[in-house]
């Protein structure tokens, strides 16, 4: 299904908002001196501490990741609205597949000085591009850039430059949110009250253990592969995974890490998880929809999947807040961001379009698209009735409101690990779960291997 076009009145409001935003970037030259970003020569105005100035006009490129097929109508309308508000501008939209080589490929584009002017990035890509100096410091180049966003999102949407300084090189765009999803009938069989979700991860693990005893191999609590939990569980528990500079692993220094691994090993041995799921890439979706797993995926879109594909299981489904644990608040998962290339030849236009794309009107409009279950990062959007209305006891509408309310105070500081480091940590935990290493030894070895990889990466 296609995204809804902006209504006429809303479109007018968007135009007015855009015009006002555009004024903030206009009225002067953007600087004549030569400067450099990464290895590329750029306009002096794109770097340094001064506010960006310059006329909003000319051509820019806008790169998304695998969105054109399903959301062409929506994004083409956003582009058309922007171009209408700023005669003389032209936005060329390109769509990257967003596969596993995205970060490597994008960094290569940046090094070749061909990075798109406005680009959709995830945290690992933003981290790499910021460190190399290829992204515009939007927090400096537009001091008002933070205004539309939930303070928690803006505060944590920072990445470190080559000198280790945290700077705002990205605008928060959207996220998926995290909740608990569970089969009420299976929990009741295990003696777990579905109306009282656990408040800590170890409390959740204790419920998993009860499910294991009641299921006795006929049904399970969840899936075994720890790749679904590292590093998100550590983040939620307040366990520090990496040092402040990101150059070394420190999770073994916290005794709760070993306790966590011991719990995972205990649950696996007790039959809380299917034995063949230890290294499987499958999440709980399929088995949950068959009534064989008590806890489903933590992504709210999963609730809609169950509603559409397994009505009988949906009738037994309830949702709950994710365990807040030591953080005392929810995690926002892994948000997507919009960045502006410091190498852009039309940086005022690129920044204006990036802010237009991520403003409250456009974020709300996209999140209402029936083809997606995503959540906005602007305060105004999260307060929209679309996210606040609950239809009776319908789990999907409950999940949407639950996540929207959680995101108002959520932390977006999800630890960014390279696939190699994450896999090295996961492999050691798998050995402990199989009884081939003690939890303490597995944690020690995981940290040593992570540090070897981090050292190699520099």
In this predicted structure, the answer to whether residue 2 has a pLDDT above a threshold of 80 is: no
Counting residues of the chain whose pLDDT is more than 70, the rounded percentage is: 92
Predicted confidence (pLDDT) per residue in 360-400, tens digit: 999 999 999 888 889 999 999 999 999 888 878 889 999 99
Residue 449 lies in a domain: yes
Residue 346 lies in a domain: yes
| Helix ranges restricted to H, 201-330 | 201-215, 232-237, 255-270, 285-289, 300-309, 311-314
> What does the pLDDT read at residue 18?
28
Same structural domain, 340 and 279: no
Tokens of 275: 């034995």
Q: Which residues of 429-445 are buried (b: 16+ CB within 10 A; e: fewer)?
A: bbbbbeeebebeebbbb
Same structural domain, 216 and 324: yes
Average pLDDT of every residue of the chain: 88
**Domains contained in the chain, number:** 2
User: First CA to last CA across the chain, in angstroms?
Assistant: 45
Residues 81-97 have a mean pLDDT of 96
Q: Which of 45-49, 411-415, 450-454 ranks highest by mean pLDDT?
A: 450-454
Residues 78-82 have a mean pLDDT of 98
In this predicted structure, the answer to whether residue 417 has a pLDDT above a threshold of 80 is: yes
Same structural domain, 113 and 185: no
Residue 276 lies in a domain: yes
Same structural domain, 152 and 50: yes
Handedness of CA 62, 63, 65, 67 (dihedral sign): positive
Q: Which of 6-20, 163-177, 182-196 ranks highest by mean pLDDT?
A: 182-196
pTM over 0.75: yes
Q: Are 26 and 385 in contact (CB under 8 A)?
A: no
Q: Are 232 and 414 in contact (CB under 8 A)?
A: yes
> What does the pLDDT read at residue 345?
95
Residues 41-69 have a mean pLDDT of 94
Same structural domain, 226 and 303: yes
Same structural domain, 250 and 350: no
> What does the pLDDT read at residue 152?
83
Q: Quick one: CA torsion of 77, 81, 86, 91, rounded to 10 degrees?
A: -10
Same structural domain, 243 and 100: no
In this predicted structure, the answer to whether residue 300 has a pLDDT above a threshold of 90 is: no
Residue 19 lies in a domain: no
> What does the pLDDT read at residue 177?
85
Same structural domain, 325 and 449: yes
CATH number for position 78: 3.40.190.10
Same structural domain, 319 and 375: no
118-121/58-65 β-pairing: parallel
In this predicted structure, the answer to whether residue 185 has a pLDDT above a threshold of 60 is: yes
Same structural domain, 103 and 76: yes
> What does the pLDDT read at residue 17?
30
Domain extent at residue 126: 40-176+333-388
Residue 20 lies in a domain: no
Q: Are 442 and 432 in contact (CB under 8 A)?
A: yes
């Amino acid at each position: 299904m296609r995204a809804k076009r902006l209504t006429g009145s809303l479109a007018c409001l968007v135009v007015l908002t855009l015009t006002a935003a555009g004024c903030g970037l206009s009225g002067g030259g953007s600087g004549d001196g030569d400067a450099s970003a990464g290895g590329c020569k750029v306009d002096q105005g794109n770097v340094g501490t001064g506010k960006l100035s310059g006329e909003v006009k000319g051509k820019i490129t806008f790169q998304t990741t695998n969105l054109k097929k399903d959301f062409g109508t929506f994004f083409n309308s956003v582009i058309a609205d922007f171009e209408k508000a700023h005669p003389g501008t032209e936005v060329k939209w390109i769509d990257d597949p967003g596969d596993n080589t995205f970060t490597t490929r994008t960094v290569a584009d940046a090094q070749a000085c061909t990075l798109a002017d406005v680009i959709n990035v995830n945290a690992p890509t933003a981290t790499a591009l910021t460190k190399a100096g290829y992204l515009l410091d939007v927090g400096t180049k537009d001091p008002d850039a933070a205004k539309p966003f939930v303070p928690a999102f803006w505060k944590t949407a920072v990445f470190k430059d080559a000198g280790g300084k945290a700077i705002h090189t990205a605008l928060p765009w959207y996220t998926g949110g995290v909740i608990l999803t569970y089969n009420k009938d299976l929990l009741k069989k295990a003696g777990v009250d579905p109306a009282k979700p656990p408040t800590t991860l170890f409390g959740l693990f204790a419920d998993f253990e009860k499910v294991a005893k009641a299921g006795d191999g006929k049904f399970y609590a969840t899936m075994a592969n720890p790749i679904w939990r590292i590093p998100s569980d550590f983040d939620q528990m307040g366990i520090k995974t990496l040092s402040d500079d990101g150059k070394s692993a420190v999770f073994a220094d916290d005794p709760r890490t070993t306790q966590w691994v011991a719990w995972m090993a205990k649950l696996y041995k007790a039959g809380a998880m299917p034995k063949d799921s230890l290294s499987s890439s499958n999440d709980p979706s399929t088995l949950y929809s068959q009534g064989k797993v008590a806890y489903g995926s933590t992504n709210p879109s999963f609730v809609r999947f169950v509603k559409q594909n397994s009505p009988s299981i949906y009738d037994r489904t309830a949702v709950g807040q994710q365990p807040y644990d030591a953080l005392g608040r929810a995690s926002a998962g892994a948000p997507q961001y919009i960045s502006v290339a410091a190498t852009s030849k039309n940086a005022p236009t690129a920044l204006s379009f990036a802010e237009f794309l991520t403003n409250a009107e456009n974020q709300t409009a996209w999140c209402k698209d029936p083809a997606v279950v995503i959540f906005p990062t602007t305060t105004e959007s999260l307060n929209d009735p679309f996210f606040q209305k609950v239809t009776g006891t319908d789990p999907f509408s409950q999940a949407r409101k639950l996540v929207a309310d959680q995101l108002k105070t959520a932390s977006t500081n999800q630890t960014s690990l390279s696939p190699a480091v994450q896999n090295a940590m996961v492999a050691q935990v798998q050995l402990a779960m199989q009884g081939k290493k003690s939890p303490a030894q597995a944690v020690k070895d995981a940290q040593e291997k992570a540090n070897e990889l981090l050292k190699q990466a520099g």
